[in-house]
């Protein structure tokens, strides 16, 4: 390759990467391959993982795999174009119908990815001169969607309804959008949906909820956080736009929004990542149709997951009391053990990894400075023995460290 001129700004990139390495903020990838249950190989080594968003273990489910295989045989592997031209397959249309029926919401629009859903839905709803009220811990895709919209962005303190109300009351913009994760992706706590909706009603705002981590997990039949709040079916509100991903509990890939006929029709007209991207291949919709059926009948899987969550939290209580680390309150599969320091979080991750256990360390800027953590993600495919193994490894690491410092 040719050399760059010495004064090119591109010369600074390697130094910027080195600076990230020095601050323990360099991100690396590992090559993974599935084994059985929560076991995978990572760079060729067998590991027990606590890092997947595949909360129900459906990414390996035989019914989904068979549906995808049959879908590929019948439909091929690519959609060939935008949904607005030739990409809206009958399989994708059936998926939207099935999701709307499952969610008990009037209409659904299916996108090729959750991230793409958020970054184009928000700018389709509000623009310059409008206001967005955004929870401080919202997911990056929501933040980017807010920025792309050019609306005035007013962040409110995490889960703080009083702070939100203060901002809503002071706002002079006619069009107001409140945006929140329904289950927060790095803390695992849940938004007060009824409280948010009450404020949206008082101030004539639209509420957009991102339930990437609650869909398939929370509520009756796993219909998600909005159903858990009793706000679907006859109680659905035209003020709520419900967004979810199909890449987490659903086990495949994609995103969707669900809401009133009027809002969904508008998004179909205006969401740019819907119009200007190739539709998801129909074989994925076939896998997702199988997934919806499994999720709906998945009370057994959800009970298994809940049992593992309870077991982990009980086991971590002794880890917390031995270390002073903080286990954030969470009833969801996302369990955050906050250790504080970036380097400490990485050390812990490395020590677990030496014991064949993979728990990701999450550092700024993904989480606020000083709150580096282990993000333990549970799945219905974890066994009770898997959880015991993690707790025992943490205890072994702690007593080694305490032995060293004594
Ligand atoms: C993962 C995630 C997304 C993005 O979904 P993908 O399907 O992975 O593109 C959006 N919002 C939240 C809260 C997420 O955790």
Peptide bond into 365 cis (omega under 30): yes
Report which ligand 1 atom has the smallest distance to the Cα of 138: 13
Task: Give residue 332's domain range.
Answer: 29-56+299-405
Among 250, 266, 296, residue at a domain's last position = 296
Residues 255 and 372 in one domain: no
Q: List per-residue pLDDT tens for the chain, 406 residues long.
A: 888 888 889 999 999 999 999 988 888 898 999 998 899 999 999 999 999 999 999 999 999 999 999 999 999 999 999 999 999 999 999 999 999 999 999 999 999 999 999 999 999 999 999 999 999 999 999 999 999 999 999 999 999 999 999 999 999 998 999 999 999 999 999 999 999 999 999 999 999 999 999 999 999 999 999 999 999 999 999 999 999 999 999 999 999 999 999 999 999 999 999 999 999 999 999 999 999 999 999 999 999 999 999 999 999 999 999 999 999 999 999 999 999 999 999 999 999 999 999 999 999 888 999 999 999 999 999 999 999 999 999 999 999 888 776 5
Residues 179 and 304 placed together within one structural domain of the fold? no
Residue where a domain terminates, one of 267, 296, 325: 296
Atom number in ligand 1 closest to CA 213: 15
At 48, is the secondary structure helix, strand, or coil? strand
Neighbour tally for 323: CB within 10 Å? 16
* pLDDT at residue 365 in the model: 84
Q: H-helix or E-strand containing 134?
A: strand 131-135
With the most atoms of ligand 1 within 8 angstroms of its CB, the residue from 139, 249, 367 to mutate is 139
3-state secondary structure 216-271: CCCCHHHCCHHHHCCCCHHHCCCCEEEEEECCCCCCCCCEEEEECHHHHHHHHHHC
Q: Is residue 156 domain-shared with residue 70, that is, in the same domain?
A: yes
Q: Same domain for 178 and 269?
A: yes
Claim to verify: residue 170 and residue 303 sit in the same structural domain: no
Ligand 1, CB within 6 Å, residue ranges: 113-115, 118, 139, 141, 181, 185, 210, 212-213, 245, 247, 255
Distance from residue 266's CA to the centre of ligand 1 (Å):
22
Q: What does the pLDDT read at residue 406?
A: 53
Report the CATH number at residue 307: 3.90.1150.10
Residue 8 inside a domain? The answer is: no
Distance CA 349, CA 355 (A): 10
Distances (CA, A) of 327 to 324, 371, 386: 9, 11, 19
Mean pLDDT of the chain, nearest integer: 96
Q: How many domains does the chain have?
A: 2
What is the value of pTM for the model shown?
0.95
Is 348 inside any structural domain?
A: yes
Distance of CA 31 to the CA centre of its chain: 21
pLDDT at residue 366, rounded to an integer: 86
* CATH number for 212: 3.40.640.10
Choosing from 176, 213, 273, 291, which is the catalytic residue? Answer: 213
Asked if the structure places residue 253 within a domain, the reply is yes
Last residue of one domain, picked from the residues 296, 315, 330: 296
Whether 135 maps to a domain, the answer reads yes
Q: Are residues 41 and 156 in the same domain?
A: no
| Per-residue pLDDT, 404 | 73
Q: What is residue 405's predicted lDDT score, i.e. its pLDDT?
A: 66
């Amino acid at each position: 390759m040719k050399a760059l001129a010495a004064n090119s700004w591109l010369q600074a990139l390697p130094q910027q990467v080195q600076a990230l390495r020095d601050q323990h903020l360099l991100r690396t990838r590992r090559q993974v391959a599935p084994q059985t249950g929560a076991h995978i190989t990572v760079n060729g080594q067998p590991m027990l993982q606590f890092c997947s968003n595949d909360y129900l273990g459906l990414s390996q489910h035989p019914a989904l795999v068979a549906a995808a295989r049959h879908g590929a045989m019948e439909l091929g592997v690519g959609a060939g174009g935008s949904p607005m031209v030739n990409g809206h397959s009958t399989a994708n249309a059936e998926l939207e119908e099935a999701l709307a029926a499952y969610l008990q919401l009037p209409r659904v629009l299916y996108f090729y990815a959750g991230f793409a859903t958020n970054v184009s839905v928000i700018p389709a709803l509000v623009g310059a001169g409008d206001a967005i009220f955004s929870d401080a811990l919202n997911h990056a895709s929501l933040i980017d969607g807010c920025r792309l919209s050019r609306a005035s962005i007013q962040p409110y303190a995490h889960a703080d309804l009083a702070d939100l109300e203060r901002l809503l009351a002071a706002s002079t913009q006619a069009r107001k959008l409140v945006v929140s994760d329904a289950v927060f992706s790095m803390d695992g706590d849940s938004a007060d949906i009824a409280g948010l909706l009450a404020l949206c009603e008082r101030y004539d705002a639209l509420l957009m909820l991102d339930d990437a981590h609650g869909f398939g997990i929370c509520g009756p039949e796993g219909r998600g956080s909005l159903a858990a709040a009793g706000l679907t079916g006859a109680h659905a509100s035209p003020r709520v736009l419900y967004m979810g991903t199909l890449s987490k509990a659903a086990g495949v890939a994609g995103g969707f929004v669900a809401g009133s006929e009027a809002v969904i029709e508008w998004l179909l007209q205006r969401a740019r990542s819907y119009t200007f991207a190739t539709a998801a291949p129909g074989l994925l919709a076939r896998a997702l149709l199988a997934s919806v059926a499994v999720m709906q009948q998945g009370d057994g899987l959800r009970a298994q997951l809940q049992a593992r969550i309870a077991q982990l939290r009980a086991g971590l209580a002794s880890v917390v009391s031995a270390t002073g680390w903080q286990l954030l309150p969470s009833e969801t599969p996302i369990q955050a053990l906050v250790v504080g320091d970036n380097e400490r979080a990485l050390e812990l991750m490395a020590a677990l990894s030496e014991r064949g256990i993979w728990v990701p360390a999450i550092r700024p800027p993904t989480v606020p400075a000083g709150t580096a953590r282990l993000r333990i993600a549970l799945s219905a495919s974890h066994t009770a023995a898997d959880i015991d193994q993690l707790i025992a490894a943490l205890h072994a690491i702690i007593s080694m460290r305490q032995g060293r410092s004594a």
